[in-house]
Amino acid sequence: MNHSHLTANILGASGYVGGELLRILLGHSGIGIVAVTSESKVGKLVSHTHPNLRKVCSLKFVSNNNLPKADILFSCLPHGTLVKKIDEFIGKYEYLVDLSADFRLKDSVAYLKWYEFEHPKKEFLNQFTPGLVEIYRTKLKQSKKVCTMGCSATATILPLFPLVQEKIIDLENIIINIATGSSGSGNKPNIASHHAERANVMRAYKPVGHRHVAEVIQELNLPKTPAYSITASPLVRGINTIIHTKLIKELDEKAIRNIYRKYYSEEPFIRIVKEMGGFHRLPEPKILTGSNFCDIGFELDTENNHLVLISALDNLVKGAAGQAVQALNIMAGFEETEGLEFPGLHPM
């Protein structure tokens, strides 16, 4: 169905993801924001918390116990928060969009393993379609509930998906190295996020065992847990992945490029970035700041049959709020790119 205008409430709008979602939705021609929540800032102007929205947004925060009627509920709450309140919202909204991890894993046992969390609402897990439009476009057209995938998982699944589908890499031999910016851990300060400790840092953050790998295993149907390491980078926004794989078929770079073309040439938010010259030859997150693109590149070491994939995205946009809006656009029958046309800045 094509709606001309829908209304939305946003839970957790005082956080980094909520702020980015607001910025995007304020430029969306088919969605009007009715209420935005924060428990710590009730009655305060949104633009006090998100100063980029001065003169753009005159809303004030309300408590999530006090929500007016709307068509869409976006939830940008921390993991484990929405799931406890889901009964309050089910049936009240036509569309539910969760940006946390609460409904991403379809197997409740995986929540026990990766989150040490007995999922209290197992019956909902299969009702939320993952927000990766590139993989779930057809399903999303029939869906009313969506869960966006984690930022590092999104940056990993998108480059690997076509190669896994085409069965050209060894699924037991994948090494994923991720560099992430500081906004990835939200706006609650702690000693590790203190400027003196975090600025200019390259720090191994989670060399093994990061929870997002569970989404990668699920979406790519991997037979075993791949190596998945996360390093804190000096960026504020941005994810950069370097993924090492082994080809199990003899293919040259042209054949690999053709596989990516087959899957992604019509995708509005995926760009294959592999230039012959210059220094912007491969994906890099800085130029994606504020944009919904995921850039994907690769290099083949033919001597060792070793294929290296590189991807980049903005964790708050394609890794969260942009992914949510893109998926909602598909579910609700808007143009897929509505609200998401911003191309990023260069230089910045």
Ligand X SMILES: NC(=O)c1ccc[n+]([C@@H]2O[C@H](COP(=O)([O-])OP(=O)(O)OC[C@H]3O[C@@H](n4cnc5c(N)ncnc54)[C@H](OP(=O)(O)O)[C@@H]3O)[C@@H](O)[C@H]2O)c1
183 in contact with ligand X (CB under 6 A): yes
- 291: contact with ligand X by CB under 6 A: no
Q: Which residue has the tokens 């003196």?
A: 196
Interface with ligand X includes 38 (CB under 6 A)? yes
Binding mask 305-334 for ligand X (x = CB under 6 A): ----------xx--xx--------------
Q: Is 172 exposed, middle or buried (0-12, 13-18, 19+ CB in 10 A)?
A: exposed
Residue 259: what are its φ and ψ, rounded to 5°? -65, -45
Q: Per rule CB under 6 A, is residue 292 in the interface with ligand X?
A: no
> 24 or 151, CB closer to ligand X?
151
Q: Which of 7, 32, 39, 300 binds ligand X (CB under 6 A)?
A: 39
User: How far apart (Å, rounded) are the C-alpha atoms in residues 176 and 254?
Assistant: 23
Q: What are phi and psi of 275, to 5 degrees?
A: -95, 155
Q: Does 40 bind ligand X (CB under 6 A)?
A: yes
Q: Which of 6, 8, 16, 272 binds ligand X (CB under 6 A)?
A: 16
Residues known to be catalytic = 151
Output 169 or 235, the one with its CB closest to ligand X: 235
Instruction: Answer yes or no whether residue 65 interacts with ligand X by CB under 6 A.
Output: no
CB 132 within 8 A of CB 219: yes
Q: Residue 153 in contact with residue 179, Cβ under 8 Å?
A: no
Comparing CB distances to ligand X, the nearer of 319 and 339 is 319
Q: Indicate the SS3 state at residue 142.
A: coil
Helix (H) or strand (E) holding 320: none
Does residue 80 bind ligand X (CB under 6 A)? no
The residue (of 316 and 330) whose beta carbon lies closer to ligand X is: 316
Token representation of residue 192? 């590790």
> Which CB atom, from 76 or from 171, has the smaller least distance to ligand X?
76
Using the rule CB under 6 A, is 187 a contact of ligand X?
A: yes
Write the burial class of residue 76 (CB in 10 Å: 0-12 exposed, 13-18 middle, 19+ buried).
buried
Point out the residue whose Cβ comes nearest to ligand X: 15
Contact with ligand X (CB under 6 A) among 6, 8, 9, 12: 12
What's the token pair of residue 19? 């702020």
Residue 130 touching ligand X (CB under 6 A): no
* Structure tokens belonging to residue 72: 């869409």
Shortest approach of ligand X to residue 146 CB, angstroms?
13
Cβ-in-10-Å burial (0-12, 13-18, 19+) of 100 comes to buried
Give yes or no for residue 33 binding ligand X (CB under 6 A).
no
Interface segment toward ligand X; rule CB under 6 A; list 35-43, 129-137, 171-179, 201-209:
35-43
Whole-angstrom Cα distance, residue 48 to residue 23? 14
Query: Contact letters (x/-) for ligand X, 41-60, by CB under 6 A?
Result: x-------------------
Applying CB under 6 A, does 186 fall inside the site for ligand X?
A: yes
Binding residue for ligand X, selected from 60, 79, 106, 306, defined by CB under 6 A: 79
Size of the site for ligand X (CB under 6 A): 30
Rank residues 78 and 333 by Cβ distance to ligand X and give the closer one. Answer: 78
CB 285 within 8 A of CB 239: yes
Structure token pair of residue 338: 């509505």
Asked if 57 and 36 touch (Cβ cutoff 8 Å), the reply is no
Q: Which is nearer to ligand X, 65 or 138 (CB)?
A: 65
Beta strands 129-130 and 145-147: pairing type? parallel
Using the rule CB under 6 A, is 198 a contact of ligand X?
no
Stretch that binds ligand X, among 110-118, 122-130, 182-190, 292-300 (CB under 6 A): 182-190
Do the beta carbons of residue 300 and residue 330 sit within 8 Å? Answer: no
First vs last C-alpha separation in the chain: 40
> Which spans of this chain sit near ligand X (rule: CB under 6 A)?
12-18, 38-41, 64, 76-79, 81, 99-100, 150-151, 183-184, 186-188, 315-316, 319-320
